Amino acid sequence: MTAVDAEGSAATQEAAAPAATGLLAGDPMMLGLPTFIVGSFALALTLIGSTVPVGTFGSALAVIMMMTGLGLFISTLWALAVGQSAVAAVFGIFTGFWLSFAVLVLGLDHNWFALPATAVTGTIELFLTSWLIGVGMLTLATLRLPVAFTALFVFIELALIFVLLGVSGPSTGDLKTGGVFAIIFAAIGVYLFFGQASVATGGKPLPLGPPLIKG
């Protein structure tokens, strides 16, 4: 059998294979992206102070815990079920981010960690610095993906940097700037979701740009 015949036979077998059903069907990004988007907008609004005082993070916890954290956890399991390890890794990591953020806010507000008052700011800085490193790692890992995904992570990094500066400094201006960057990365998430939704409903994907590293 020639290579052409082998490829044709493989293609015929793939075409004849039954479509996946149940847990082995569908696109986990259809759930993961909108849950991420809603939590991102909720966090951005608390940073900007448009509806609540700047930095009143407890106001967003209902959305962050029960929508974003839970939704991303389900999306992670879904991605694992369909064999999308990269998607599962990203959703799983961000499940950890949102849930750990909720635990941080609740723990500090209720003194669960029994920290002295002088250690509160340092604890928040530790949290933000750790996630700067983690998201930076993810950013580098997306360089072979379409540039829209890299841009998403770059703006998450910028938001974390300015929130860290806002926590460390006396002014709320940096927190508001972090909120602006959060709105930008949430908007990129909306664009990515529309692209996935278009494909899921029988349309064409939206252009996501070429990767920064090819090959």
In a domain, 4, yes or no: no
Over residues 127-149, mean pLDDT = 97
Answer yes or no: is 90 within a domain. yes
In-domain check, residue 17: no
Per-residue pLDDT of 61-120, as tens digits, reads 999 999 999 999 999 999 999 999 999 999 999 999 999 999 999 999 999 999 999 999
Q: Which residue has the higher pLDDT, 14 or 112?
A: 112
Q: Which of 43-52, 57-66, 167-176, 187-196 has the highest mean pLDDT?
A: 187-196
Closest CA to 143 of 73, 77, 212: 212
Question: Is 84 domain-assigned?
Answer: yes
Cβ proximity of 179 and 53 under 8 Å: no
Q: Is residue 10 situated within a structural domain?
A: no
Indicate the SS3 state at residue 202.
Answer: coil
pLDDT digits (tens, 9 = 90+) for 140-153: 999 999 999 999 99
Per the structure, the complete domain to which residue 159 belongs is given by: 27-200
CA–CA dist 184, 157 (Å, integer):
12
Q: How many domains does the chain have?
A: 1
Residue 129 lies in a domain: yes
In a domain, 3, yes or no: no
* pTM check: above 0.75: yes
- 45 versus 25: the higher-pLDDT residue is 45
Q: Is residue 147 part of a domain?
A: yes
